[in-house]
Structure 1
Amino acid sequence: MTELADRGHATWFDTAMPDAVRDGEADVIVAQRTCLPGPSAVFQRMARENHARMVYEIDDDLFAVDPSNRHAHQFFGLNISAHTRVGLDGSLERTPYFDDGLRARMIENIRVAHMVTVTTEPLADVVSQWNDNVVVLPNQVPAWLLDHERPTAGDLVTVGWRGGDSHGRDFGELAKPLRGFLQRPASRGQVEFHAMGADYTPRVASRHVRTRHTAWTAGVADFLKKVDFDLAVVPLRDTRFNQSKSDLAVLEMAALGIPAITSDAGPYATVHGGPNIPCSTSAQWTAALAELVENPEYRVQLGKQAREWAASRTIEGNAHLWEEAYEQ
């Protein structure tokens, strides 16, 4: 939205719709993941009455949330929502309830929208069963990442991972080979594991393994400025949900000049040809880790290639895609 504003468009974003916008004082209204009763009713009414061009935006396959992502699965998968009630002490409290209309509302929001925007082709295939006008707008990164000089951890080679606490089973694809690699004598005092976001360091910790954890920060930019990886690991299970995921994790690392070792699944599969080293077995993970840790020149070369690839995926260089989509 900021880049569109810089291009001369009047933009606004918030978690609630002001009355002026609801009354029709906007050309395009984008609703992201809208599924609760009140907002869905407003979105559907405005779409049917053509108050503005109504766009439904969705960036994950919310119809296939993995049960390992407990909170999201409860909300989207089991249709557990929440409402506010007055407790015995007079205070307001949030109470879960079964919302059997949640998926139906999402589908209806998609169906009535003038256009649906998604981040990947597989996700477009999912939502196109309800709306023919689906536009793929791939995730992009801010251009400043391409020039940012990331901090370093001194003489240690830092193997890094970033992500949220919903990736427990994804991390399971990597935990055993990474722990074994970090425990080997050649890694002691030479290599560390740095988890950013959720803390998965206990999954690889042992007496001879060096680990660090950095919690989430309030802003995405501040978080990315703290990334000090020499190489990134991006494990991903081969699930229906992950098939529709975007390549944002690798894209962010690539923009920082960090080569990535990934699972051979979803957006990181071999056939996609991204700037990553895809692995499908523990032996492949171990070999890729050894190759990048023990060959600093090769690691730097791959990082440069990754950054060159990421240069074509900036917000500033691709904002026209959003302009063109919204002007349809």
Structure 2
Amino acid sequence: MLTARRILILCDAVGATQTISFSQPLADDVAAGRVHLQILAHDPAWVSIAGAQALVDRIRPDILVLSRYTSPGALGLTAAARALGAAVIFHLDDDLLAVPESLGRAKYNYYNQPERVAALRAALNASDLVYASTPALADCLVEHDVTVPITAGDIYCSVQPSTLMEPLPSTGPVIGYMATGGHGADLDLVLPAIEQLLEDMPDLRFETFGTIPPPARLAPFGERVAHFRGEPNYSAFLTRLNELGWWVAIAPLEDTPFNRCKADTKWIEYAFCGIPAVVSDLPVYQKACADGAGALAATSEQWLKALRLLLADQQARHDMLTTARQRLGARYGRDVLSRQVTDIFDLAVALAARQECERS
């Protein structure tokens, strides 16, 4: 009988990143007893060498994954894991070495603390393998002088095609935007089009979902603009997104180096929840939205045209969602991501074994 592979994932805070990247794709392996998975948020006790050693000795992982881990103590954790013969992977889904001010002053200040940046850089270069969510992010990490092997995921977010949610469109037209508070500058790209549509269509509503507030410039439209708080649990978040009944969703992105490293997660989540989407015409979304699986927009005129068409034409919305969901099944299946993660684990173990041989 094969022994379960023991995976320990440590992060600054447990959130959607770890659910999407590890909990979901490894769920079948965990259920079958092939993997023992533990995901923990940072504990200050781990900063000391003794604390790091105690954690690793207690769990005894075969693989340690530091997922978006910018807290102090990473080098002690890495050393303790390596002393047990464990492979070490650093996982990133954003370029946290170059967080821009456009994400908001709080995030900018948090991630750009010199000691945090230095700790992150040291942890990246102390790992056996860096797992980047996209090829663009992998390229950025090379430019940041990350010297250990880097591998990029072919996909980041996945779905179970059999669990796609039925569309629940509201009785009146609604444009929706799901985002965190650091995306105000992105939303500004499409506000002129939304304002125009709200003026032209008296029954149209605009709603935001998450920590992003409604834009102040839309206040003149009163109750036709609304905000819904996010859901910390990822499954509950998807259920709530589906229940909002948006006719069309948007995913604007400023064309910045940071955003070009992102994955097409918003488009996947919208399609999974039964909502056709208009997205920024950037490499992040171009492959996913090809052939009518989503509408691409780069200018205010293009945003206005795409949104107006979808709001006015139920068949166009249906056709776009159908194409999007066909793509989800063909390219973004949970089994695809499961194989990707397993292959990355295998690669990390092989690299760690090779490096141990070279050291001995």
Measured against the shorter chain, the TM-score band is 0.7 to 0.9
What secondary structure does 2:102 align onto? coil
Displacement of 1:263 in angstroms is: 1.5
2:220 — aligned with what? 206
The 5 Å alignment of 1:162-201 reads: 162-184=178-200, 187-189=201-203, 191-197=204-210, 198-201=212-215
**Paired residues, what number?**
302
Cα distance between partner residues in 1 of 2:257 and 2:228: 30
Structure 1 match to 2:36? 10
Paired with 1:179 and 1:124, the residues of 2 have a C-alpha distance of: 38
Query: Deviation digits for residues 208-229 of structure 1, max 9, x if unmatched?
Result: 8722221112312112112222
CA distance change for structure 1 residues 183 and 23 in 2, over 3 Å: closer, same or farther?
Answer: same
Distance, in Å, in 2 between the alignment partners of 1:324 and 1:207 is 51
- Corresponding residue number in structure 2 for 1:265: 282
Structure 2 counterpart of 1:89 = none
Query: Helix, strand or coil: the match of 1:31?
Result: strand
Q: Of 209, 216, 233, which residue of structure 1 is paired with 2:250? A: 233
Q: How does 1:268-283 map to 2 (within 5 A)?
A: 268-269=285-286, 273=290, 275-283=293-301
Cα drift, residue 269 of structure 1:
4.4
C-alpha contact (below 8 Å) 2:272/2:325 kept by paired residues: yes
Checking the alignment, whether the CA contact within 8 Å between 2:159 and 2:328 is kept in structure 1 is: no
Deviation of 1:144 after TM superposition, in Å, equals: 6.6
The 8 Å contact of residues 254 and 309 in structure 1, kept in 2 or not, is answered as no
Asked if 1:326 corresponds to 2:345, the answer is yes
Does 1:71 pair with 2:106? yes
- Within 1, Cα distance between the matches of 2:158 and 2:238? 11
The residue identity in structure 2 corresponding to 1:321 is Q
Amino acid at match of 1:231: V
- The 1:218/1:193 distance shift into structure 2, 3 A limit, reads same
CA contact (8 A) 2:60 2:84 kept: no
Greater displacement, 57-66 / 129-138: 129-138
SS in structure 2 opposite 1:206? helix
Q: What SS class does the counterpart of residue 41 from structure 2 fall into?
A: coil
Alpha-carbon distance, 1:256 to partner: 2.4
**Structure 2 SS opposite 1:101:** helix
Structure 2 gaps of 5+ residues are 1-22, 47-51, 348-360
How far the C-alpha of 1:238 sits from its partner, in A, is 0.6
| Root mean square deviation, CA, Å | 2.4
Partner of 2:20: none
Q: Does the CA contact (< 8 Å) of 2:124 and 2:146 recur in 1?
A: yes
Give the equivalent residue in structure 1 for 2:62: 27
Relative to 1, partners in 2 of residues 1:283 and 1:20: Cα closer, same or farther, differing over 3 Å? closer
1:246 to 251, 257, 263: 263
The 10-residue stretch of structure 1 (238-247 or 252-261) with the greater mean CA deviation from structure 2: 252-261
State the alpha-carbon separation in 1 of the partners of residues 300 and 61 from structure 2: 53
The answer (yes or no) to whether the contact 1:257–1:306 under 8 Å persists in 2 is: no
State the 1:75 CA deviation: 1.4
Q: 1:108 aligns with which of 108, 117, 122?
A: 122
Aligned sequence identity (%): 21
Deviations 1:211-256 (A, max 9, x none): 2221112312112112222211111101111010111011111222
Verify the 8 A CA contact 1:183 1:206 in the aligned structure 2.
Answer: no
Instruction: Provide the C-alpha distance between the structure 1 equivalents of 2:197 and 2:71, rounded to a whole number of angstroms.
Output: 46
- Aligned residue type for 2:208: A
Name whichever of 162-171 and 4-13 sits farther off: 4-13
Residue correspondence of structure 1 range 31-46 to structure 2 within 5 A: 31-37=66-72, 39-46=73-80
Report the Cα offset of residue 203 of structure 1: 3.8
Separation in 2, partners of 1:205, 1:150: 29
Instruction: Tell me which residue corresponds to 1:218.
Output: 232
- For each residue in 1:28-62, what CA deviation from the matched residue of structure 2 results, as whole angstroms up to 9, or x when unmatched? 0101122232x223134236646310010111011
Distance 1:320 1:248 in 2: 19
Residue 323 (structure 1) shift: 1.0
Q: Cα offset for 1:316?
A: 4.2
Please, what TM-score do these two structures have when normalized by structure 2? 0.77
Do the aligned residues in 2 keep the contact of 1:120 with 1:245 (CA within 8 Å)?
yes
Determine if the alignment matches structure 1 residue 286 to structure 2 residue 320: no
TM normalised by structure 1 equals 0.84
Alpha-carbon distance change, 276 to 131 in structure 1, aligned in 2, over 3 angstroms? farther
How many angstroms apart in 1 are the aligned matches of 2:170 and 2:106?
A: 35
